[in-house]
Amino acid sequence: MDAFTGTTRLILLGFFASHIIFTLGLDGQAVIPLSFFPQCLIDLGEFEVATFNDPLMGNARNLLWFQSLVVLELCFQLPFFCVAVYYLSQSDQTTYPDGFRSACIAYGAHTSTTLVPILTSFWASEHVATFTERVLLTSLYFPYLAIPLWLLWMTATATPTHTNSSKKTQ
């Protein structure tokens, strides 16, 4: 697959680099004991919950389905973020290995699928009182649907770097 270039590469690089920070610093608070986090990150999480009335992060320790998504994020997505940052930070790269293309497809499909119940919960939740709160929460989480879908489309439609064109000879 041809390497991402220009603005596309920079958007993806920024997205994945920031996602490493948010996954470890904020999302991880849903499943990792809070004693592992510095107070400034706990305060930031509480600020996010208070500012956006986020019913998931505000009640994460009581929502097993949400905790399971965070565990998947920590175990599967976080390593991918690191690999993605590695490849995207190499601006002189002209192609990516087919394994990276496959990982992008898997990440894009997995993440966009997990965002459907998350976004739906905002609109169905009795804890999100106003339309404005629902729109703000949706706006906050929407990039985590849009960018993985965009990555999925770009990589699923890209030509693999290596094709299996060798023929058996007799």
Residue showing tokens 């293309």: 101
Which among 87, 85, 110 is positioned nearest to 19, based on CA atoms? 85
Both tokens of 48, joined, read 């996010």
Domain with 92, as residue range(s), is: 6-156
* Chain segment 148-158, per-residue pLDDT in tens: 999 999 999 98
Count of structural domains within the chain:
1
Q: Is residue 18 one of the residues assigned to a domain?
A: yes
Average pLDDT score over residue span 136-141? 93
Q: Is residue 61 one of the residues assigned to a domain?
A: yes
Q: Is residue 76 one of the residues assigned to a domain?
A: yes
Q: Are 44 and 26 in contact (CB under 8 A)?
A: yes
d(CA 168, CA 111): 39
Q: Is residue 122 one of the residues assigned to a domain?
A: yes
* Chain segment 60-104, per-residue pLDDT in tens: 999 999 999 999 999 999 999 999 999 999 988 899 999 999 999
pLDDT attached to residue 25: 95
Residues 6 or more apart whose CB falls under 8 angstroms from that of 117 comprise: 65
Q: How far is CA 146 from CA 72, 83, 113, 116, 152, in A?
A: 19, 20, 11, 11, 10
d(CA 22, CA 43): 14
Q: Is residue 137 one of the residues assigned to a domain?
A: yes
Q: Is residue 164 one of the residues assigned to a domain?
A: no
| pTM (2 d.p.) | 0.87
Angle between helices 131-141 and 143-156 (to 10 degrees): 40
Residues 6 or more apart whose CB falls under 8 angstroms from that of 33 comprise: none
